Structures are given as C-alpha cells and as structure tokens.
Amino acid sequence: MLDLAWLIPAAPLTGFIVNMLVGKRLGEPLAGWVATIAAFLSFIFTVLVFFDLRSLEPSDRFHIVEIFTWISAGSFEVDAGLLVDPLSITMALFVTGVGTLIHLYSIGYMHGDENFSKFFIYLNMFVFSMLLLVLGDNLLLTFLGWEGVGACSYLLISFWFTDPQNASAGKKAFVTNRVGDFGYMLATFLVFLTIGSINYDDIATQAPDIAAVTASAIVLLFLLAATGKSAQIPLFVWLPDAMAGPTPVSALIHAATMVTSGVFLLTRLNPILAAASPWVGDVIAWTGAITALVAATAAVAQNDIKRVLAYSTVSQLGYLFLAVGVGGYVPAIFHMITHAFFKALLFLGSGSVIHGMHDQQDMRFMGGLKKFMPVTSFTFIIGWLAIAGVPPFSGFWSKDEILVFAWGSNKALWVVGLVTALLTGFYMTRQVIMTFFGKPRFDVEEVKPHESPKTMTIPLVILSILAAVAGGLNLPFTKDFLGGTDVHFLEGWLEPSLFANEAKFDTAGSTKVWLALIAVAAGAIAIFAAFKLFGKGGSLSADEVSTEELDKSPLRSPYLENAWFIDATYAKFMGGPGRKMFEFFSFFDRTAVDGISKGVAGGSVGVGTLFRKAQTGYVRNYVTLIVFGAIAMVGWVIWRLVS
Amino acid sequence: MLTLLIVIPLITAALVLVNTESLARVVALIGSTVTGILSLIVLSEFEVGESGYQFVSDVNWIPSLGINWTLGVDGISLWLVVLAGLLFPIAILTTSAHHDQRQFYFHLMALQAGSLGAFLSIDLFLFFAFFEIVLVPMYFLIGGWGHGDRVYAALKFFLYTMAASALMLVGILALGILTRNGEVFSFDIRDIQANMAGVSDTARWLILISFALAFAVKVPVFPIHTWLPNAHTEAPTAGSVILAGVMLKLGTYGLIRFGLGLFPEETIALAPVFLTLGVIGIIYGAAVATVQTDLKKLVAYSSVAHMGFIVLGIFAFNSQGLNGAVVQMINHGISTGALFILVGWMYDRLKTREISQMSGLQKSAPVFAGVMTLVVLSSIGLPGLNGFVGEFLILLGTFSSARWWAVVATAGVILAALYLLWAYQRTFHGPPAGTEGASSDKVLKDLSPKELLGIAPLLAAIVFFGVYPSFMIDRIEPSVDALIERIETEADFTESETEAPERSGVEGLTEALELAEEDKAEKEALEGES
C-alpha cells in the first residue's frame, strides 16, 4: 500500500477532472456527491497507508514514491515524488477526513447555487493541492501545493464575484500571500545553494552541517512565507476579509487545513530550525504569541458571527507558532488537529446559523436560536467548550500542552498564552450567548429560522464528537494511567519525523497540574465574566437591551474592532504613497523615457531630410524592394536545391 | 526539410495574393498549419541529447562573399521554431482582418517565413537578412490594420528597431572580414567561432556593442522599451500575438546565440549592465502595468517585466539560468499570446479596452472567464502551470551567480500577481451590467465552441508544460550545457553552479534519525553527569 500512496492525491484529482468534464451535466446534487466520494476515497487510502506505516519499526517509517522527474536543469533536479512518513500521513488524515465532512456539508449548503458544480470542482482541486503540499517530498512540490491551495482559496473567496467586496478579498488574499511566497522562493534558493538539493531527505541528512547564520536566514525567510499562509503578523490581514467566501470554504480552507500549512512547513523543516541560532526560535514564538493576543483582542469586538471565528483562527494559529518556536512540534500538531475539529465545527455551525437565518451574519440580530436549531446549537456549544479549554473537551488538552511548553521555555510567553486563553473563553462565550441564548432580537415571524438539512447536520454531529474526544490522542499522563501503555500516542507516533528535535523541559509533574488548574480557572473566569456582561441579568443582557444598546458596549472600541488598525494602515499606504509611486513610474515612462527617445528621433528626422533629396523618401518603396529581393534570393536557393 | 519551413509560408504568401479576398484567410490558415505540422515533425525527429545543430542544410548562396544558405536547429532554437510554427495558425484561426484580407494574410505569412528563417539561420548574414525582413510586414500590419494612433506606433516601431540594427550589419560585415581564413569568407557562426582568435579586443567590443544594441531594442530592455507599448496596443490582435510571442524572442535569442555564443568574455563583462537593466525592467514594467487603464497596454507592459526575467536568466551564465531563459521564452510566447488573443476578443465584443468600462463580465461569460483565469494564473507564474518553470529556474540560477539581483527580481513576482489579479477583479468580477453599482452596461458574449477550439492548444500547452516541463528541458539542456562549457574554456570563467549530493533517500532519513537520537542520548547523558 505504501507504494500506492499516490492514490491519495489521485482521488480528488479524478473528482476534479470528472466534474470539470461533466459536472455541469451531472448538476445538483450529483456533482457534489462525486466530489464527496472522491474526497472520501482519498481518506480511505490515507487510512490504509497509515496502518501500513504503523506496522513498520518506528525508524523505518519513511517511504518515498517517485512518480516522474518534474524539473531538472544542470545539477538541479526535483521529482514529482511523495514522502510518506508519520508527519505527512497525520496531516493527510485530518485534511481528507475533515475535508470529506465539509464536502458533504457543502451539498446542503450550496443547494440552489447556480454554480453548484463549479464549487465542487474548486473544492476537489483544493484537497488535491493540499495533499501535494503535505505529501510532497521536496520543497518545490510543497510549493506547488502551497500555491495551488492559494489559488483555490482565491477562486473560492471570490466565488460570489458579483459583490465587489468578495472580489477584492480574493485578490487581497492572493497578493498578501505572494509577499510570503517571496520569502518561500528565496529560502528555497538558499537551501539549494547551501546543500545542493531541496529534497526533504537530503535536508534531514545535511541540515546539521549548515552554518547557523545560513540556517537562521533560511528559517526566517520560511517564517515570512508561513506568516502569509498561516495568517500571522505582519501578513494576517487577508484572513478576516477571506470570510467573504462561502462558509464551507471558511471552515475547510481558512480554519482547518490551508492556514495550518505554515506550521506544517516549519515542522517539516525541523532539522534546519535545529541548526539555526537559538534566537530564531524566539522570533517564531513571539510572532505567534503577539498574533495570538492581538487577534484575540480583535475577536472580542466583532459582531459578524464569522469574523469572530476568523480572528479566533488567527489567534489559535498564533498558539501553534508559539509552540513551534519553543520546540514543541508535537503540541503544535496536536493543537492543529483538535483546532481543525472544533474550528471546522464552529464554522460549519455558523454556516448553519447563517443558512437558517437566511444570510444574516450579524449576531446583534440573532439570539435565542437554541430553540429553533437544536442540533446546530448543541454541537456549537461543544465546539465552544472545546475552544474555551474546558476539560475534558479536546481543546483543553492540546492548549494545556502548549502552555506547559511555554512555561518551560519562557514565563513571559506563558503569560501571553494565558491571557489569550482568557480572552478566547470570553469572546466565544459572548458569541454563544448572542447567538443561541436569550430571546430573539429579530422578527421570528418574518425570518422563520429553521434547522439545516441532514447533509449539514451529520457533519456537525461527527465533528462535535471528534472535538469532544480528540484530546485522547495525546494524554499527559504517565504510563501507570492505562496499565503500562504509553498514552502519549501522538508524541510516539510523530517521533521519527522530528529527528529528536522536540524540546524537553523538566517541568515537575506537580507544576504541570498547577498550570492546568490555572488555565482552567482562567477559562472559568472568562466564561463567568461574559455571562455577567451579556447573560441574563447582566448590564448588557441580551434579553432586555436593544440592538443599538449592544453597540454601546465598552468593548466596541475602534481599536479592537479594527484589529489595531494594522490592515487599515497597509491599505492607506497601498492606496496612497504606494499607488502614487506606481503612477509616478507611469508618468516617468510617458514623459522622461519616451520623451528622450522622441528627442533623438526628432534629431534623426532632421538629418534624414537632408538625405531625402537624393532618395524617394517613401518607406513603401524600400520595403517593396526588400521584399522582392528576399523572394528573389529564396527563389534562387530553391533553384539551387532542385538542380 | 528546414528550408521547407521557410519556403512553405512564402509560397502561401504568394498564393494568398493571387487568390480572392474571401479565400485569403483559408489559404493562409492551411499554409501556416502545414508549416506548423512540419515544425512538429522537426520536433519529433529531433535527436534528444545532441548538443550540436541538427538537420543542417548548407547551400552556397553568394560564394564570393562567403554568404551561405545555412540552416540548422539545436536545443536553443528548436522550441522557438515550434512556437513560430504553431503560433501563426493559432493567431490566424482566432482573429480576423477587418479589411484587405489578401494583404493582411500576405504580411502575416511573410512574417512567419521571416521569423522561422531568423531562428533557423546559422549563417550570420542570413540571420540578419531575416531579422530585418520581419520588420516590414509587421510595420504594415500595425500601420494598416491597427487601432487608434497606428501610423505613429508603426513608425516608432520601425525606426527604433531599424536604427538599432543598422549598426549590427556593420558589425556582421566586420566580423566576417576579421575572421576570414586567408581569402575565404564565411558568415557561418561555426566558422566564425573557430576563427575568433584573430579578432582584437577593441574590435570584439565594438562588434558586440553593435549586436547588443540591436538585440536590446528588440527584447526590449529598459530604457529603450517605449516602442513596445505603442506597437502592442495599436497593433491588430494577430500582430500583437506574433510580436509578443515570436518577435521579441529574436532579441533574447540573439543575445544567447550571437552575444554569448561569439563573445563570451565580453558578454560576461557586460553582465552587471544587463542584470541591472533586466531587474529594472521587471520591477518597472510591473509597476507601470499596475496603473494602466487600458487592458491591452497593461498586457504590453507585463511583457516588459517578463522579458526582464529572460535577460536575467541569460546573464546568470549557468545551467539553471540559461535553461530557464530558453524555457521562459517559449512559455511567455504561449501565455502572452493567449492573453492578447483574449483581450482582442474582448475588444471585438465590447469595442473598448478601458478597464473602467468593464464590470462583472464573468456573469455573462463564464467560460471566457475560466479561460482568462487559467491564462492569468499562468502569466503570474503559478506552479503547475507553464509560466512558473522558467521563472523559477531563472531566479534560482541568478541567485547562484548574482544573489542580490535575484532578490530584487523575486520581489517582481509579487507585483505580477498584483497587476493581473487587480485587472481581472475590475473587469470580470464585480456587479455585472444591469445590476446596482455596475460601472458599465457592457455585456460580454461567451466564447463560441469554435473560439474555444482555437485557443485550446495554448491552454493545453499551459497545463502540459507546467506539469511536465522535462519534455521541453530535455531537448534544450544539451545545447545550453555545451554553450556553457564553451564559454568556460574560452573566457576563463567558471560557472557558478551548486554541487548536488547523492540523493539520501529513505535510508538517509533512517540514518539521520538514528544519528539524531544517538546525539540526543549522548547529550542527555552528559547533562545527567554534570
């Protein structure tokens, strides 16, 4: 089965091609089913490969499938080849798993859309690209996937293109990511120049010999790339706008899978990270920590149900960077998986709400939906408990591990992480209250909210189960807990891919317990505070206050609402000085550059006039002569050839 | 065989003239298609792995002057020949002439003969003849069938390129005289190469400069590019396609074949100048393209940027850079050719090229929009599509030999996405005509099956060469490597190439893992002791 790993990306590619050719004819819902089955087959293949890989000795859990030589020039050669190892298969498992559920959900969500089949074409294309990204055995194939998912993201954000806002958001996502790609390409060049290859196997063997300065430069350039794709400061600005796309897209691409690519990339390159100077890790960790905090403060003040989740995603991704920066690859991947479950769940839940509320996204006009949408609200609440870090839901376990790592590395990072956790509990509780609790703040008779169809609720239920129990993937307990079995399942499984670069801190067991208790306490305080502020009897109780009064919340500071004006500053620069500079270039081209050449031309025309007296002066005549001359010459050659 | 590639379009040109108006297009289409098929036969018969000229045909032409009808094709010119062979029938199929059919197709076919001749000539004099001849039909195409300010554009085009190449003729003659073997003249570049030793340094420099100037205008290199936006914008669609797809390549092809090929040492010395101009072209072309309001002009300026990449690759002087440059020449021809065809169709339907006059076109023309998206993504350089391969190899090669230039040029990659996607957003996205907020009332008719079929070969090429570029590079590489080898021996120059290690593979990974674990265990043991 390992040699058949190419089937994993081949399945969604087939779905893509089928729908491309006959999708329009298949129509709704058949085109959607074709795509869903393609994604599901891919998941099945991944599971089979997973079991095959498990049956091997841990140190032998590597397999390379070479398909063909993609680009080769001189000493540079890259294959279209797949690297099957614990890391890539872990990624592939949740990409195809969550991906299948979201495909299924989309059949319901996209019901009645005039471009139904096109949506699934893009979705399959996305899964295919994402699988190349994680399975590629070299930096360039990963880059192909990297750009492929970016292109799909662009196409899907601007899927409802007639709204200028969607169109603009799509372009913004692509161009912002291109800034990151600049880093990716330079880093790739530097890797090639340093070790003469960009295959991951060569990187793993040669990385320990790379000079610290070079390794640091490589990592920082890849970090730039990762901040683009994974929406970190300074390039996070595209993600909140990307919510303009259909909600399944937000769930799949902008929450569960694509945006984790940056973290995957840094994890994949752990041998180079290990060779870099220690401060490089700090840069990564602080990038993540600051992003986590800034985005969490912004999430607190959003009224759009999806924008809350968007900033929340940015914030949670910050956690992953924090973890990678302090050498906690396993917690990073662990939280990446649990986050994929609960954030996909929350996004799909919000999609279900938007669907049921007939395209209403503003939480100020919601409330009391628990009664109308029981499945959606029940599953959403599980997602909320998971992200807020309430034990025993999955988010508690994975977030706690990151906080333990942060504590071991740098107490300041831990403080930022804890404050972020507190804010997370707060804004998520606010969201749940505003959406599902209290009384409706809309005209029930007019809106008639309703529960979503089965194709949408089934994925919600499955994801909510996963979000509840996924903490079991990597439990922090010692061996005695389960009668001698090591319960650090994920840690043991990922070990081969990490080349002993996972950091180890000798934090005492009792300290860990205290840290967990503090985190839980923080979550509890946050939830309590939110209920106090927004819940029954609170000063901003959803029951009594009008929509206008909700607006007067002390949280509605323009700084929070606009995420500290980072995006606005960029926009101002690009629209102002940036645009002016480009226009100056254009002006310069029309006047200075062209002007000089015109002057020269004018001079030569003057000289030409002198000669003209002796000549006929008609270009036409010369040209005719040249043409006839040419024909005569060629004719002569033919004659010579024949005779 | 190669002679036929030139003769068939010429005969077709003559046939077009003697036929009726209504038959002109059909005759031209048949003639150019036969030529295209012939170029494919050359491709399939081409010996992979050979570095020298193949299918050489050598006929004495003006023996007393040593001017011969010498044709041949090697890895560097092979794909350009195929491009010139196939782009013409596609251009004829996808466009039409508004008046004077016979003259229009006569010029087009003469153009095909000329450009194929230029790429096939091994004789320097013959090359020059073709290099000059192609100007004439292009001049008429722009002046006679163009838009707006076409006469000005045509004249500007003609004067720029003519003036620059006038000196080249002197250079060629001088070269022939200086390298003559006793009383025997030869303009065959293989003979010239063999006899270069007798040419003094000053002469070399003067001749190279006369060459470089002619080619630089053709590319065009900043700051002598201003003929291009005018010519491209005013030319009829077929003219723009051929101008961008085939004729610009004469410049970069000339730089490789006759600059680097004949004067390696001097060309290498010129590198800083060309690298800088190339990088300026990339950034400057993209910046100016961004703020264009005319869609066709935007595409024209994008060519300035793309051609800058090719210049960069040539002056990287290593396998990646040069291979990338040749690959990029072909792929730019495919992508920009397709882009001009699409913009031409838009103009035919909407009667405007102003971006502000379009909005939400995707609504009424989803297939058109899909094709446009693919071509735009290819032009942006999306991996998996053709545009990426050349660009990546060029930047990789340049990074090895001229790092900081490559860094700046890579920034140009960001800008390409900016101007193309922004233009797409403003034209195809947004509220369609007839809805609220629409900035125009123009509706784009979708592609007809016939049109789709016409552009399909280009779309297929965009995907094929993105997924399997080895098919192209395998045929280019031997010739490029031979060229590099020659400049290394002749110019006392070492290619800045990175050594590739033996691939580690799965065993390497297992070994690395075991080593890392041992290291760690050792370290932990040490820490435990202390």
Q: In the Cβ-directed half-sphere of A408, how many Cα atoms lie within 13 Å?
A: 21
Residue ranges of B 242-281 with Cβ closer than 8 A to chain A: none
Chain A closest CA to B199's CA: distance in Å?
A: 30
Hey, are the CB atoms on B60 and A640 less than 8 Å from each other?
Answer: yes
Percent of chain A with pLDDT over 70: 88
| Residue among B163, B382, B508 minimizing CB distance to A151 | B382
User: If you ran DSSP here, which 8-state letter would residue B383 be given?
Assistant: T
Q: Is the confidence at residue A631, as pLDDT, over 80?
A: no
pLDDT tens string A479-524: 666 677 777 888 888 989 998 888 888 888 888 889 999 999 999 9
Report which of residues B197 and A321 the model is more confident about. Answer: A321
CA distances from A443 to A359, A366, A368 (A): 15, 10, 12
pLDDT tens string A606-615: 555 555 544 5
Closest C-alpha to A350, from A432, A419, A283: A432
Question: What contacts A44, CB < 8 A, 6 or more positions away?
Answer: none
Q: Spell out which residues of chain A touch residue B477, defining contact as CB-CB under 8 Å.
A: 72-74
**Mean pLDDT, rounded, for B268-272:** 90
E strands present in B95-234: none
Overall residue count recorded for chain B in this entry: 530
Mapped to the 3 state alphabet, what secondary structure does A535-550 carry?
A: CCCCCCCCCCCCHHHH
The CA distance from B436 to A162, in Å, is: 10
Q: Confirm or reject contact between B142 and chain A (CB < 8 A).
A: no
Which residue of chain B is at minimal alpha-carbon distance from A67? Answer: B468
Q: Is the confidence at residue A67, as pLDDT, over 80?
A: yes
Chain A closest CA to B497's CA: distance in Å?
A: 7
Q: Which pTM does this prediction carry? A: 0.92
pLDDT of residue B193: 85
Phi, psi of A543 (to 5 degrees): -70, -45
Q: Spell out which residues of chain A touch residue B389, defining contact as CB-CB under 8 Å.
A: 71
Mean pLDDT over the full length of chain B: 89
**Mean pLDDT, rounded, for A290-308:** 91
Burial B148-179 (b: 16+ CB within 10 A, else e): eebeebbbbbbbbbbebbebbbebbbebbebb
* CB-CB contact of A326 with A406 (8 Å): yes
The CA distance from A334 to A336, in Å, is: 5
Chain A closest CA to B94's CA: distance in Å?
A: 23
Question: What contacts A339, CB < 8 A, 6 or more positions away?
Answer: A255, A256, A260, A316, A320, A387, A395, A398
Confidence of residue B226 (pLDDT cuts 50, 70, 90): confident
Q: Is the confidence at residue B186, as pLDDT, over 50?
A: yes
pLDDT of residue A599: 66
Q: Is the confidence at residue A622, as pLDDT, over 60?
A: no
Q: For the packed helices A374-387 and A454-469, what is the interaxial angle rounded to 10 degrees?
A: 30
Hey, are the CB atoms on B498 and A192 less than 8 Å from each other?
Answer: yes
pLDDT tens string B288-340: 998 899 999 999 999 999 999 999 999 999 999 999 999 999 999 999 999 99
Which residue of chain B is at minimal alpha-carbon distance from A69? Answer: B470
Which residue of chain B is at minimal alpha-carbon distance from A190? Answer: B399
| Residue among B163, B430, B513 minimizing CB distance to A496 | B513
The CA distance from A73 to A70, in Å, is: 10
The CA distance from A485 to B18, in Å, is: 91
Chain B closest CA to A554's CA: distance in Å?
A: 36
Closest C-alpha to A182, from B465, B284, B381: B381
Hey, are the CB atoms on B7 and A634 less than 8 Å from each other?
Answer: yes
The CA distance from B417 to A431, in Å, is: 37
Hey, are the CB atoms on A64 and B7 less than 8 Å from each other?
Answer: no
* CB-CB contact of A84 with A63 (8 Å): yes
Of A433-437, A491-495, A557-561, B116-120, the range with the lowest mean pLDDT is A557-561
pLDDT of residue A614: 42
Hey, are the CB atoms on A593 and B226 less than 8 Å from each other?
Answer: yes
Hey, are the CB atoms on B432 and A162 less than 8 Å from each other?
Answer: yes
The letter for the amino acid at B99 is H
pLDDT of residue A82: 94
pLDDT of residue A635: 62
Question: What contacts A206, CB < 8 A, 6 or more positions away?
Answer: A195, A197, B501, B504
The domain locations on chain B are 273-494
Of A192-206, A356-370, B240-254, the range with the lowest mean pLDDT is A356-370
Hey, are the CB atoms on A73 and B323 less than 8 Å from each other?
Answer: yes
* CB-CB contact of B444 with B364 (8 Å): yes
pLDDT of residue A617: 46
The CA distance from B122 to B76, in Å, is: 12
pLDDT of residue A363: 86
Closest C-alpha to A189, from A222, A166, A167, A211: A222
Which residue of chain A is at minimal alpha-carbon distance from B419? Answer: A175
**Mean pLDDT, rounded, for B146-174:** 83
pLDDT of residue A613: 45
Peptide bond into A391 cis (omega under 30): no
Which residue of chain A is at minimal alpha-carbon distance from B135? Answer: A623
pLDDT tens string A564-590: 778 888 888 877 777 788 888 888 887
Closest C-alpha to A293, from A470, A447, A414, A116: A414
The CA distance from A134 to A475, in Å, is: 25
Q: Is the confidence at residue A637, as pLDDT, over 80?
A: no
pLDDT tens string B203-218: 889 889 989 989 998 8
pLDDT tens string B70-108: 999 999 999 999 999 999 999 999 988 878 888 899 999
* CB-CB contact of A212 with A276 (8 Å): yes
Closest C-alpha to A189, from B406, B226, B464, B178: B406
Hey, are the CB atoms on B291 and A597 less than 8 Å from each other?
Answer: no
* CB-CB contact of A173 with A153 (8 Å): yes
Confidence of residue A131 (pLDDT cuts 50, 70, 90): very high
Please report the number of interchain residue pairs, chain A to chain B, with beta-carbon separation below 8 angstroms: 253
Chain A closest CA to B57's CA: distance in Å?
A: 10
pLDDT tens string B356-415: 888 889 988 999 999 999 999 999 999 999 999 999 999 999 998 888 999 999 988 888
Chain A closest CA to B10's CA: distance in Å?
A: 8
Mean pLDDT over the full length of chain A: 87
The CA distance from B523 to B526, in Å, is: 5
Q: Spell out which residues of chain A touch residue B500, defining contact as CB-CB under 8 Å.
A: 75-77, 196-197
Confidence check on the interface: ipTM exceeds 0.90, yes or no = yes
Q: What is the largest CA-CA distance in chain B?
A: 98
The letter for the amino acid at B73 is V
Question: What contacts A416, CB < 8 A, 6 or more positions away?
Answer: A289, A290, A292, A293, A322, A406
